[in-house]
Structure 1
Amino acid sequence: MDRDWARLGQAVQAARKKMGLTQAQLGEQLEVSRATVQLIEHGKEFVNVTRTHRALEPIFGWCRGSVEAVLNGGEPTPLSADAPDSATEAEQGEESQELLPLRIRQALGDGHLLDSTVIDLPAEGSDEPDAQIVIVVRSKPDATPERMRQSVAAWERVERQLRAIRAQGDAPSALDDE
């Protein structure tokens, strides 16, 4: 199925205007130029959805995956509508969470989901993953859209640092020094 980049551009422009942001202001929040925002709004086609596209979701209060939904002809899903689609999914999620420590279950249950990622950790002296770090980024339950945007920006800085450490192969020693 062809992706409708023009449709995404229209959705981005509408959401930006609804928030009262200029292209330059949105670019600042995304840490890109105004020209990049213009390209997205004008429907420039990309090979893949980029980090910048994904960063639009929390800024506009959209659930993760909303960019892909718009590209495929759908609508973005507001964060407030990110509840499981059925009782079965909710039950499966509860069963999975029972395996987690209490403080993790509490943290996962509070606030809005902003992002998540998995970082592979190779065995010493190997490039093959031996373990994984799973990171879930959530806002406070009462966070404003502005605060969520700030949280996403902070997370993106931390994620770049984590990936840089991983790329150097020094993850254990770098983290132990702190």
Structure 2
Amino acid sequence: MDRDWARLGQRLKAAREARGLEQQAVAAAIGVGRGALLRIERGQVSRISPTIRAYATEVGWTADSPEAVLVGGEPTMAEPEESGNSQSPSLGVASVAPELVSELPWRIRAALADGPLIDTAVIDLPAGDDEDSDAKMVVIVRGRGELTPDQMRRALLRWEQTEAELRNTDHRE
């Protein structure tokens, strides 16, 4: 059975535009660079990746819609609570993320735009002895370039060790 990757890309782009979403906003919302979105929209992909599923979800499709579109079918629209989006992204990640991203230094923007997403975490910063934490840190772990499955596994193990250390760090004077 032939898969029409260009058709999938065109349909995702049309769905994005119908929602009034910019490429940069969708890219930021799903944790990839704009170049990754361009490749998907141009049909320059050859497998359904987590990024394609995230893109589909961001434009309101169900998770299995990319497969349907690839073989000539139509996407299924997700229920609003399923997709995480309403028809208008006024308070969604897609509308906030570009503003936050624009405040980041170029070095950080470049690091966020390249490599596969390995994991993310939100970790409370250590608090004082008798108070709750009043701040959090957001950690985005990305690989460098294309990783083999073995490299990805090693990177994930290193991140899991680092995350455990971050979460168990006591307040340091």
TM-score, normalised to structure 2, is 0.50
* Cα distance in 2 for residues equivalent to 1:113 and 1:54: 13
The corresponding residue for 1:33 is 33
SS in 2 for 1:113: helix
* Cα distance in 2 for residues equivalent to 1:20 and 1:56: 14
Is the counterpart of residue 21 in structure 1 residue 3 in structure 2?
Answer: no
> In 2, are the aligned partners of 1:8 and 1:43 still within 8 Å (CA)?
yes
The corresponding residue for 2:81 is 112
The 5 A counterparts of 1:1-178 are 1-46=1-46, 48-80=47-79, 112-113=81-82, 144=86, 146=89, 157-158=120-121, 167=157
Specify every segment of 5 or more residues in structure 2 that has no aligned partner in the other structure, as ranges.
Answer: 98-118, 122-139, 142-152
What amino acid sits opposite 1:56 in the alignment?
Y
Decide which structure has greater helix share. 1
The corresponding residue for 2:116 is none
TM-score, normalised to structure 1, is 0.49
Q: What do you get for the CA RMSD once the two structures are aligned?
A: 3.6
SS in 2 for 1:112: helix
Residue 77 of structure 1, CA deviation: 0.4
- Alpha-carbon deviations, 1:34-65, whole Å to 9, x = none? 2221111111132x211110101221111120
Aligned length: 115
* Cα distance in 2 for residues equivalent to 1:167 and 1:24: 30
* Cα distance in 2 for residues equivalent to 1:35 and 1:15: 18
* Cα distance in 2 for residues equivalent to 1:23 and 1:29: 10
